[in-house]
Structure 1
């Protein structure tokens, strides 16, 4: 097995400096993704009370006999959270697949 091929895989396995750089890149990408999803959910949930405060008529609106605030906070939050969670998982898996492809490409060189 050529030295460069072994180095890429073993650097990660043996937690060498270059292996740590690869893993740190993966961790940072996943942290950025997690913070983005958290910010989107916080903006959506935190922004709704602001909307209610800025536009008073939204407080008394009803949809099919259900008050709008109850509908949004009691029902619509869950599908939104599920969609964000699903998007997070798919993107995190994509990051991991790209990372694995880089490691495998290093193993195939030579």
Structure 2
């Protein structure tokens, strides 16, 4: 007599069963998420780094652009020079200012992203 065969049993497993298990230690992100004292130190160091960067970029931009009126005052000939029929102070203050501000903004964004990337890598290793 033949016995009817039922469906075969199939074992289903997760594709991640062979993946390396994560060690259950305290990571930097966990410290930040749980708002521990170490997490506060991490966050304050990130904020201080970005504040320092912002102050440096702002100071450089203010010194660069703020020195233009001083240049016009100390070197009187710059007040009378014309570029393409337009007085030099108008060209510098009305046109050149925008590329300078754009470059300062690009420098800030690039360095702020670099600081965040380094912070993320550092915290992820902890």
Aligned residue for 2:15? none
Scaled by the length of structure 2, the TM-score of the pair is 0.78
Q: Which runs of 5+ in 1 are unaligned?
A: none
Q: CA deviation at 1:2?
A: 3.0
Three-state SS of the structure 2 residue aligned to 1:2 is coil
Aligned residue for 2:63? 43
Q: Which runs of 5+ in 2 are unaligned?
A: 1-22
Scaled by the length of structure 1, the TM-score of the pair is 0.89
Structure 1 stretches of 4+ moved >3 Å: none
CA radius of gyration, larger in: 2
Identify the structure with the greater helix proportion: 1
Q: CA deviation at 1:8?
A: 2.2
* Alpha-carbon distance in 2 for matches of 1:96, 1:7: 17
> CA RMSD of the aligned region, Å?
1.1
* Alpha-carbon distance in 1 for matches of 2:115, 2:28: 18
